[in-house]
Amino acid sequence: MTVEAPVAPDGQVPEETPALLDAPGDGSPSSSLTVLSLAELGLAEPGVPPAEAPAEPVIGVRLLEGGIIEVALPPNREIEGPEAREAGAAVRTLADGKRVPVLLVISGVVGVSVEARQVYAGSIAASAFALVGESPVDRVIAHYLLRSRTETIPAEFFISRTDALKWLRPYTSEK
């Protein structure tokens, strides 16, 4: 069973969204997340009229079977601090006070701001990070993120999602 949580600009995880309620729950950790825009969720930026709300995808956050949290960054975008903070809040909500392994999918991401990098490095919910990417650019971005991590949180880069999940499994029992 997977639980999907799109993150909203106010840092809250919406309780119900039609796209998530209709999503199949076959229990298998698929390699793709449902990507929803803020407009599709009805979650516009504060102070921005709904007609002008950005239609950019949000960061996908979901709990995979086995207690691993997957964070999928939207491709073709630079990840900024506010987005990273919202995803971090969703991870903490799904972690429910425990330290859990995090699978961070960075395939196709254009860049990560210094502020977003600091957010990921300062995670209090992660017991370990496995970063997954496909291209040489993904590898460079992963190493940029890995440079900023604290030495107490193990982290590795993988080109295989399967290998990353296998590496994370020993970290699922931390409290």
- Cβ–Cβ under 8 Å, residues 60 and 72: yes
What percent of the chain is predicted at pLDDT more than 70?
64
Q: Which residue has the tokens 């970290």?
A: 171
If you average pLDDT over residues 72-80, what whole number do you get? 92
The mean predicted confidence, pLDDT, of the chain is: 74
150: left (phi over 0), alpha (psi -120 to 50) or beta: beta
Q: Is the per-residue pLDDT at 38 higher than 70?
A: no
H runs (alpha helix) in the chain: 18-21, 38-41, 81-95, 114-121, 136-147, 161-168
- Lowest mean pLDDT of 25-34, 48-57, 123-132, name the range: 25-34
133 CB contacts (<8 Å, ≥6 apart)? 105, 106, 107, 109, 139, 141, 142, 157, 159
Q: What is the pTM of this model?
A: 0.67
CATH class of segment(s) 3-173: alpha beta
- Lowest mean pLDDT of 37-41, 68-72, 84-88, name the range: 37-41
Q: Is the per-residue pLDDT at 72 higher than 90?
A: yes
- Lowest mean pLDDT of 3-17, 27-41, 88-102, 150-164, name the range: 27-41
If you average pLDDT over residues 120-147, what whole number do you get? 88
3-state secondary structure of 31: coil
Please report the pLDDT score of residue 11 as a whole number.
47
Residue 47 banded pLDDT, cuts 50, 70, 90: low
